[in-house]
Amino acid sequence: MLMAGIGFVLLPEFERSQLSECSSSTVAMLMEFPLEFHRFEDYFGTCSEVAIKDNVVVVYEVLEEMLDNGFPLATESNILKELIRPPTILRTVVNTITGSTNVGDHLPTGQLSVVPWRRTGVRYANNEAYFDVVEEIDAIIDKSGSTVFAEIQGVIDACVKLTGMPDLTLSFTNPRLLDDVSFHPCVRFKRWESERILSFIPPDGNFRLLSYHVSSQNLVAIPVYVKHNITFRDGSSMGRFEITVGPKQTMGKMVEGTVVTSQLPKVVLNMNLTSTQGNYTFDPVTKILSWDIGKINPQKLPSLKGSMSLQAGTPKPDENPNINIQFKIQQLAISGLKVNRLDMYGEKYKPFKGIKYMTKAGKFQVRT
Amino acid sequence: MKPMQRLLQLPVSAVNLIKPLCQEETKSPVLTSEGGQQNWYNAVQPDELKLLKASPEPEHQGEEPTEPGQTQPIRHDDLKEMLDSNKDSLKLEAMKRIVAMIARGKNASELFPAVVKNVACKNIEVKKLVYVYLVRYAEEQQDLALLSISTFQRGLKDPNQLIRASALRVLSSIRVTIIVPIMMLAIKEAASDMSPYVRKTAAHAIPKLYSLDQDQKDQLIEVIEKLLADKTTLVAGSVVMAFEEVCPERIDLIHKNYRKLCNLLIDVEEWGQVVIINMLTRYARTQFLNPNQNESLLEENPEKAFYGSDEEESKQGEMDAAVLPKRKPYVMDPDHRLLLRNTKPLLQSRNAAVVMAVAQLYFHLAPKAEVGVIAKALVRLLRSHSEVQFVVLQNVASMSIKRRGMFEPHLKSFYIRSTDPTQIKVLKLEVLTNLASETNISTILREFQTYIKSQDKDFVAATIQAIGRCATNIDEVRDTCLNGLVQLLSNRDELVVAESVVVIKKLLQMQPSQHSDIIRHMAKLIDNIMVPMARASILWLIGEYCEHVPTIAPDVLRKMAKSFTNEEDIVKLQITNLAAKLYLTNSKQTKLLTQYVLNLAKYDQNYDIRDRARFIRQLIVPTEKSGVLSKYAKKLFLAQKPAPVLESSFKDRDHFQLGSLSHLLNSKAGGYQELPDWPESAPDPSVRNVEVSEWTKPIGREKRKEKVEKPFYSDSEGESEPTESADSQSPTASESESMSEIESESGSENDEESDEETKSDKERKKKAGKEKSKKQDESEDSGQSEGEEKTVKKHKEEEESSSSSSSSSEESSSESSSSESESEGDSELDTGKKSRKTLSTAKPPPRPLETKQKEISLLDLDDFSSPTTFQSSPSPNTLPKSLNLDLQGLTLTDTTLLSEVSSPLLGGVKTYELLHRITGEGLSVEYYFNRRPFSPDHTMVSVQMQFTNNSEMEFRNLRIAEPKLQSGMRLQGFKEIAILQPGEVTADTLGIDFCDSTQAANFQLCSQTRQFYMSIQPPVGELMMPVFMTENTFKKEQEQLLNPSAGKLMGMNEIKEKLTLPEKCRSDQAIVQKVLSTANLGRVPCGLDNEYRFAARTISGGALVLVTLVTKEGGAAQLTINCEKMVIGTMMVKDIMQALTQ
C-alpha cells in the first residue's frame, strides 16, 4: 500500500529517476531502495497515502536528498532529519513567526564522519536506552500436530536517547544461540567475531540493532497447539467446523493477543459459529474467518464451534483450510536468549537502561 | 566556445535584468498560449483544491469549469505576485503550491520566469524548491533556464560545502545542451574540491553530463580517473557508479585502485558498496584465474549427469582430460583472496542489496569450498519483503543448480506456506526440486503431497511438474512418483489431471514397456478430460505405444474420429498421428478409419492440419506415385524417440551475472555488462602494485596485510581515522577560506596538482622514475596541508567572529578528537603487539612461555583498555579555550597520520624497559615512543606505557607521584589504574615535556603498597615531530639557518660529518628506514637521486631540524644537520651515524 501511495503521488517524477536506471544498478538494489521509504514514518508518524499527499513538498525535499540522478545519496535517517527537519506543529508555528525553514543550511556532520548514523551535539535531560528483544516463531504444523518446520527469527530494536557520543557494549549470557546475524552498521563486527559482544556507538532514537536467526539445530518450543475438526460432506450443503486453541511450552507465561485467521474455500457461503471466548468475523466475500481470542486461559480453553453452509451442488473442496495464528508472549524470549549486561563508555552520566523480551508468532501456520 | 563565454560573462546582478525581461516574457504569446492554460485548467481535480484551500486567495474558481479563460490568469497572477514579493514566507508558500502542482502531474511551466528569478533567494528552502522546479522544467525552457546559470556558478564558489554541492547537483541536472562546457568546468573544479561531499556530488554529476553529451567521454574519463584515486569512503561508491555508467570497459583504470577499493569497501555507504562489489566482480573475472578450474572436472560431473546429455558429457570429459595435465596447480592470487576476505563481513549487512551483491560475488569468484558461506545470509533474506524475496529466490534457484550442497541444510526454509504469493511459491518449488537428492527426496515428496491439495491451481500444476522432474532425476523414486501421479488422474480438478497426464507422458517415455496398464487407464480418461494438451498427450501416448494396447487403440481412434471436428488443433494433429501409426501397425482394423480421419483433416480450416494430412497420406497409403519414402514410413513414424529431458528453467541462467536485471528477466537488458569468462592465464598481477603513498616502498605489502587482518568496524575506526580527521578538517578549512583571494589561490594550486598527477601517471605507465614522482606528489599534498594549517591560524580571528563556522568547526574537531582518542587505544595496542613481535624475533626470546602468555592476555585486553583511555583523555567539550589548540592538533594529527600507520612497521620502534619484573616484585613496566601527538598538550612527547602484572597478587592504585624534573620540564600522568589483576596487561599514555633536552625525567610509580623510582630518558630522535615541506621550502629554511642575518632566527648551526655506508645499507629503502627509525623525521622530496632530505620540528620548542644526506659512489656519504639547537644537532648526527654505519 505504501508503494502504491508513493507511486500514485510521485509517478511523474519517478519515471525520470529510479526506474529508468535499471541497467547499472542491481535488481536487489531497486527492490531494496523503496523499502527505505519507511523513513517517511519518521517524518509523518504514519506513512499512509494521505500523509504523503498532505506533505508532498516535504516528500519532494526528502527525496531530493535521498536520490541524485536515480542513485541513492543519503538514506541515513539522522542525516536526513538534519537536512530536512520533520514537520511538527510546534516547528510550523515557530517557522511562521521567525521565518526560519525546515531545511538545514549546513552539511550534517554525520555525512562526513565515520559514524554517519549519529548526529553530533545530542542532548537529553533524561538519558535512557531501551532494548526490545523480539522473537518471532515461523512454523508449519502438520495436520497431526507435529512440527514440519519451525525456526526462530529475532530482532533487537533499540530506542536510545543518550547525550553526547556514548559507546555501548551489550553482551549475552548465551551468544552461541545466534546462528546468523545481521547488524546495524554501527556494530563493530570484529568485537562480535572475537568476543561475541555487541559494541557500538548507537544512532540517536529508534533503530534496529540486530536481527538474528536461532540455529535450526535447536528444537523450537511451540507455545500453542490447535485442535481442529473441519469436515465437508459430499452432497450435503453443510459442513462442520471446530477449533480449540491451547497453550503448551510457554514457560509459565500467558499467551496474549491470540488471533486465528483462516482462508476458507470458495464453496463456503456462510458460517454459523459460537465461541467460548472472543469474537469472530467471517467475510463472505473474501471468505476470511478471523477469530480474536485475546488471552488464553489454560484452565478454560477457548474454542469455536459451529456449522458452515456450503454452496449447493458443488463438490467438496480437496483441501481443508489452513489456519494462521498470531499470538504474543510478554517477557519471554522463546529461544532462551538473554542479555547479560549493557555498559556505557565515553560519557560520564548514568543512563537508565531497560530490556524487554517478547515472543510473537511470525508466519505460524497449521495445516488441517 | 562562444555561448559559453557569453554565459560566463553574465553579470552577477543578472537577477535585476530578469525582471523587465520577465514582464516581456509573460506577455509573449508563447507563454500565455491557450493550449497550455487549458491543459492546466482541465487537469484540476477536487484533490487539488483541497491543497489550495490553504492559500490566502480564494481558489474556488476551479469549480466553475465554464470560464477557463477568465479564471486562469488570476491564479497565475496570484502565484507570480507571491513569488515577486519581498517576503520569504510568501515565496515559500507559492513554491510549495507549485511543487504540489508538479507532484500531481500538472503543467506548471508557465511560471518558469517567475520562479527562475528566485533561484538567488537567500531562504534556503525556497532555493531548494526552485531547484526542484528547475530540474523539472529547464529542458523545456532552455533559454530562460540559462538565466539561472550564473547563480549556480556563484553557488559553486560558496564557502558552504552544502551549497556548493547542491549548486553542482542542480547545474548538472539541468538538461540544456548549451551549458555542457560550463558543466564540464564545474565538474572538473568540484572534483578537486576540499570537501569530500562536493567531490561526491561531482562524481554523481558525471553520468548526468555523459547522458547529455556523449562526446565529453574522454574528458569525463579523466575526471573519473582522478576521483578514483580519492581516498575518502564518501567518494568511492559514487565514482565507481560513474565509472560503470560512463566507461565500464576501461578496466585498466581500476588496477591502481583495486586494493584501496577492497580495503575501503567496508566503510563505504551501503549503496556504494553494492556498485563497487558488482564492478569488482567483473574486474576479478578478467584479472584472476578460475579457482575451480581443477576441481570442476572431478566434482561437477556427477551433477551434470542429471541434466546434460550423455554425448555432451563424454565429449567434455575428453576435452577436460586433455586439458588437465597441462594445468599447473592453482594458486590464488593474493588480491583475489583480498577481495573475498574483505567482502565476507558484508554478508552481515542489514541491506539486502549488499548481501545479494556479496553473494553473487562469491558465487562467481570464490573457490567451490567457500561458496557455502553465502547460503545462510541468503536464507535470511527470505524473511524480507516479498519483492526482495522474489529476487533472492530467483538467484537461489540459479545457484542451487550449480551448487546443490550449499542450500541442502536449509531445505526446510524453502517450504511453502499457503499465504505466499504464487510466484514465490513457484520459485520455492523450483529450489526444492533443484535440491532434491536420494537422501531427501522422501521428505520433499511428502511435502509436495500437501501442496497438491492447495487451492491455488497454478501452484498445483507447478508442483506436478516438479514431481515429474524429481522422478526423472532420481531413479529410485520414479515408480513412486508415477503411481502418485496416476492417482492424481482421478482428481476432480481437470487442470490437475491434465498436468499429470502431460507429466506422466514424459515419464512413460522413459520406460514404456512396464506401464501398459497406466496407458490403458489413461485411454479411459480420454472421455472425461477436456484440456487439449492432456488429450493430445494421451493420444500421442496411445499412438506411440499402440503395440502395448492393441485392442484399445483402434477404439480410441474410432471415438476421436467421431469428435474430430470439435477438437482443438493440437488434438487434431495428434489424431492424425494416431491414425497413421495405427494404419502402419494394424491396417486391417483401422484402414477405413484412417481414411476417414485424413479426409476430415484435408478440409480442415487450419493449414497445418491440411498439410499434415496430405503429408501422411503420401507416406502411408501406397500409390503408384509414392516414392521411396513410403517404404520407410514405419521407420519414420515408429522410431525410438529419445526421452525428453525435464530440466529447470534456471539452467544456464547463471551466464548472466546474478543479481542483475538481465538474470531476472533471463534476457539481456539494455546496459548489461557481460560477465567475462575467466582468462586462460592470469594477466600481469603487478599492474595493481601501487607505489606506497607512505615513505618507503616495501611497507606496502605488509601494510596491506595488516589492514586486511583488521576486519569490519572496530579496526576501521583506527584505519579510517586518517580519512575522518581529514574530512572533519576540511569544512573548517573551507569555511575559513571565505576570502575569495585564498580560494582562487587554492584553486590554482589544485590545478597544478592535478597536472602533476596526470603527468606522474604517464610516467608510471612508462615505468620510469616511479618512486620519485609519487613522492613529489605526496609531499606536494603535505606541503599544501601545511599551508592550510597556516591559513587556519591566520584566519583564526575571522573564524571566531563568525560564530556559526567556528562552532561547527569546534564540533567537528571535538568529535574527531574524541573518536581519535578512542581508537588510539586499539591501534596502540596493535603497535604494542607488533613491537613485541619484532622484539621477540630480533633477540632470542628469553622466556618464550611467558611472552606467549602475554600475547594472549594482550588480546583480551582490548576490552578494558578503551574505557581507560577514554577516561584519561579529557573531554574536548570541556576545553573551549583550546579551540585554536584543537585546530592545531587536528592539522598535526593529519600530517602525522601517515607516519602513524607506517612507523611501527619500520621495525624501528624500540621498547624500553622501565621496571623489570624482579625489581618490581612482579610488576613490569615497558615504554616506547609512539610518535604521535599527545592529545591534551601538544608540546609534550607521548610515551606509551605498558604495565604487566606477572605476580600472583593484584596491584592497586597504580599512579605517578613526585616527579623530580629539571626546571621547565613537565609531566602529565595517566589516570590512576585502580586495579591490575594478576596476568593482566594495561596500556596508557604519558605525556612529558622534555624541553628539547635529553635529560631524563624522573618520577615515582606508586602502587597501593610500594613505590618504584623510574626514569625515562628520551633518545634525541624522539623529541621531534615530522614536518612536511617541499624542496624549495627546505632550501629556504636551510638558507635562513645558515645566514642568521637574513632571517630572524637567532642561532646558526650546521654540523657536517662524513661517513661510509656499509654494503647492506646503500639502497634507498635501507637508508630511509634507518634514518626514520632513529628519529621521528618527515621525508622531504628531493630532485636528486643521491640526496635524502628530512625535516622535523622539536616538539616543545618548535625548532626546525633539517637533515640532509648525500651519498657518493662507493658508499661514501655526507650527513648535514641544520638545527638552531646545537645540542640536538650534535646528538642527532651521532645517532644517525651510528644507525647508518652499524
- Residues whose CB falls within 8 Å of the CB of residue B366, separated by 6 or more in sequence, listed in order: B291, B340
Which residues in chain A are closer than 8 Å to B415, comparing Cβ atoms? 140, 148-149
What is the residue whose three cell numbers read 504444523?
Answer: A141
**CA-CA distance, B433 to A17, in Å (whole number)?**
39
Facing residue for A31 by CB, picked from B345, B388, B720: B388
Interface test with A, best of B271, B715, B860 (most A CBs within 10 A): B271
pLDDT (0 to 100) of residue B4: 41
Contacts of A167 in chain B (CB under 8 A): 822, 866, 870
State the burial class of residue A90 (Cβ atoms within 10 Å of its Cβ: 0-12, 13-18, 19+): exposed
Are B252 and B287 in contact by the 8 Å Cβ rule? The answer is no
Query: Which residue in A53, A75, A345 is closest to B870 by CB distance?
Result: A345
Distance CA A105, CA B134 (A): 20
In the stretch 264-303 of chain B, residues with CB closer than 8 A to chain A read 267, 269-271, 274-275, 278
Closest in A26, A182, A315 to B274, CB measured: A26
User: And the C-alpha cell for A235?
Assistant: 452432497
Q: Chain A within 8 Å of B352 (Cβ-Cβ)?
A: yes
- pLDDT average, residue stretch A342-347: 88
| Cβ contacts of A181 on chain B, cutoff 8 Å | 348
Query: Do B717 and A114 lie within an 8 Å CB cutoff?
Result: yes
Are the Cβ atoms of A113 and B727 closer than 8 angstroms? yes
Q: Is the pLDDT of residue A364 over 70?
A: yes
Instruction: Name chain B contacts of A346, Cβ cutoff 8 Å.
Output: 818, 822, 870
Which of B270, B355, B720 is closest, CB to CB, to A114?
B720
Give the mean pLDDT of chain B: 70
Query: What are residue B7's DSSP bridge partners?
Result: none
Identify which of A10, A90, A84 has the alpha carbon closest to the alpha carbon of residue A42.
A84
Minimal C-alpha gap between B809 and chain A (Å): 10
**Contacts of B683 by beta carbon, 8 Å cutoff, 6+ apart:** B286, B287
> CA–CA separation, B417 vs A367, rounded Å?
9
C-alpha cell, B383: 524473511
d(CA B302, CA B236): 43
Closest approach of B298 to chain A, Cα-based (Å): 31
pLDDT confidence of residue A281: 92
Which of A9, A27, A75 is the best substitution to test chain B (most B C-beta atoms within 10 A)?
Answer: A27
Asked if B678 and B290 count as a contact pair (C-beta separation under 8 A), the reply is yes
Instruction: Give the closest-approach CA distance of A300 to chain B in angstroms.
Output: 30
Q: What are the grid coordinates assigned to B234, written together?
A: 564518501
Q: CA A141, A147, A148, A153: dihedral to nearest 10 degrees? A: 90
User: Does residue B129 sit at the A interface (CB-CB below 8 Å)?
Assistant: yes
C-alpha cell at position B456? 491455488
Query: pLDDT by residue (tens digit) across B538-556?
Result: 888 888 888 778 888 888 8
Contact state of A167 with B870 under an 8 Å Cβ cutoff: yes
B residues 764..793 contacting A (CB < 8 A)? none
* Residues from chain A contacting residue B53 (CB–CB below 8 Å): none
A112–B357: do the CB atoms touch at under 8 Å?
A: no
Please say whether the beta carbons of B221 and B258 come within 8 A. no
| B99 shares contact with chain A (CB less than 8 Å) | yes
Distance CA B382, CA B389 (A): 5
* Residue for grid cell 545462510: B376
Candidates A29, A60, A107; nearest CB to B162: A107
- Cα dihedral B247, B249, B253, B258, rounded to 10, equals 110
Taking contacts as CB-CB distances below 8 angstroms, the residues of chain A near B51 are 53, 56
Q: How far from B1115 is each of B490, B597, B1070, B1121, B1140, CA to CA, in Å?
A: 99, 107, 13, 19, 11
What is the least distance, in Å, from the CA of A55 to any CA of chain B?
9
Determine the residue of chain B that is closest to A117 in CA distance: B269
pLDDT for res B948: 81
Q: Tell me the shortest Cα–Cα distance from B78 to chain A, in angstroms.
A: 20
Residue B1123 to residues A264, B782, B1051, B1104, B1105, Cα–Cα distance (Å): 93, 22, 8, 6, 5
Q: CB A165 to CB B811 under 8 A?
A: no
Residue B403 φ/ψ, nearest 5 degrees? -130, 80
Q: What is the structure's pLDDT at B1045? A: 54
Q: What is the DSSP string of B856-899?
A: HHHHHHHHHHHHHHHHHSPPGGG-GGGHHHHHHHHHHHHHHHHH
- How many Å lie between the alpha carbon of B1078 and the closest alpha carbon of chain A? 34
Closest Cβ–Cβ partner in A71, A317, A322 for B418? A322
The pLDDT value given to residue B751: 42
Interface test with A, best of B128, B129, B239 (most A CBs within 10 A): B128
- CA atoms of B1022 and B998, how far apart (whole Å): 10
Q: Which residues of chain B have pLDDT under 70?
A: 1-75, 294-329, 512-513, 623-627, 644, 669-671, 691-909, 1043-1052, 1087
For residue B773, give the C-alpha cell: 614522482
Question: Does B455 contact chain A (CB < 8 Å)?
Answer: yes
Q: How would residue A29 be classed by pLDDT, with cut points 50, 70 and 90? A: low
Are B808 and A106 within 8 A, CB to CB? yes
User: Are B350 and A183 inside 8 Å of each other by CB?
Assistant: yes
Helix-then-strand count for chain B, H and E: 50, 15
Give the H/E segment covering residue B365.
helix B352-365
- Domains annotated on chain A, with CATH: 24-98 (no CATH), 128-220+332-366 (2.60.40.1170), 224-330 (2.60.40.1170)
Looking at residue B686, what DSSP letter applies? Answer: G
**Model pLDDT for residues B974-1026, shown as the tens digit of each residue:** 777 777 777 777 777 788 888 777 778 888 877 777 777 788 888 888 888 88
Q: With an 8 Å Cβ cutoff, are A319 and B870 in contact? A: no
Q: How far is B105 from chain A (nearest CA, A)?
A: 6
Q: What is the pLDDT of residue B624?
A: 65
Q: Is A121 in Cβ contact with B811 (below 8 Å)?
A: yes
Residue A18 pLDDT greater than 80, yes or no: no
Q: Please calculate the CA angle A172-A173-A176 and round it to the nearest 5 degrees.
A: 80
Tell me whether residues A101 and B124 touch, CB distance under 8 A.
yes
Q: Which three cell numbers, joined as nine digits, stand for B792? A: 587556519
pLDDT band at A47 (very low <50, low <70, confident <90, very high): low
Residue-level pLDDT at B766: 45
Q: Among candidates B246, B316, B306, B295, which has minimal Cα distance to B275? A: B246
Contact B353 A31 (CB under 8 A): yes
**Whether B630 contacts chain A with CB within 8 A:** no
Cross-chain residue pair B714–A189, CB shorter than 8 Å:
yes
* Smallest Cα distance from A307 to chain B, Å: 21
Question: Cβ–Cβ of B713/A75 closer than 8 Å?
Answer: no
Which phi and psi (to 5°) does residue B87 adopt?
-80, 130
Q: Decide: pTM greater than 0.80.
A: no
Q: Taking the CB of residue B1072, how many other CB atoms lie within 10 A of it?
A: 19
CB B519 within 8 A of CB B542: yes
Longest dimension (CA), chain B: 131
Q: For residue B630, how far is the Cα from the chain centroid?
A: 67
Give the separation between CA B394 and CA B649, rounded to whole angstroms: 11
Whether B354 contacts B277, CB under 8 Å: yes
pLDDT value at residue A134: 94
| Cα–Cα distance, B847 to B1026 (Å, whole number) | 36
Q: Any CB–CB contact under 8 A between B1130 and chain A?
A: no
| B592 neighbors B558 (Cβ within 8 angstroms) | no
Interface touch A10/B380, C-beta < 8 Å: no
The per-residue pLDDT for A316 is 74
Nearest CA to B49 among B38, B60, B39?
Answer: B60
Rounded Cα–Cα distance for residues B251 and A330 (Å) = 56
CA end-to-end span of chain A, whole Å?
Answer: 31
A212-251 pLDDT tens trace: 888 666 678 888 889 988 888 776 778 888 999 988 877 7
Please tell me the predicted confidence (pLDDT) of residue A132. 94
pLDDT of residue A259: 93
Q: Are B934 and B940 in contact (CB under 8 A)?
A: yes
Residue A265 has pLDDT above 90, yes or no: no
Beta-strand pair A128-141/A352-366: parallel
Determine how many CB atoms are found less than 10 A away from the CB of residue B458.
14
Can you list the pairs that B54-60 forms with residues at least 24 positions away whose Cβ atoms lie under 8 Å? B55/B93, B55/B97
Q: What is the DSSP letter of B54?
A: T
Cβ contacts of residue B1088 below 8 Å, gap of 6+?
none
Q: Is the dihedral of CA B145, B151, B153, B159 positive or negative?
A: negative
**Cβ count within 10 A of residue A122:** 18
Q: Which of B107, B133, B108, B140 is nearest to B119 (CA)?
A: B133
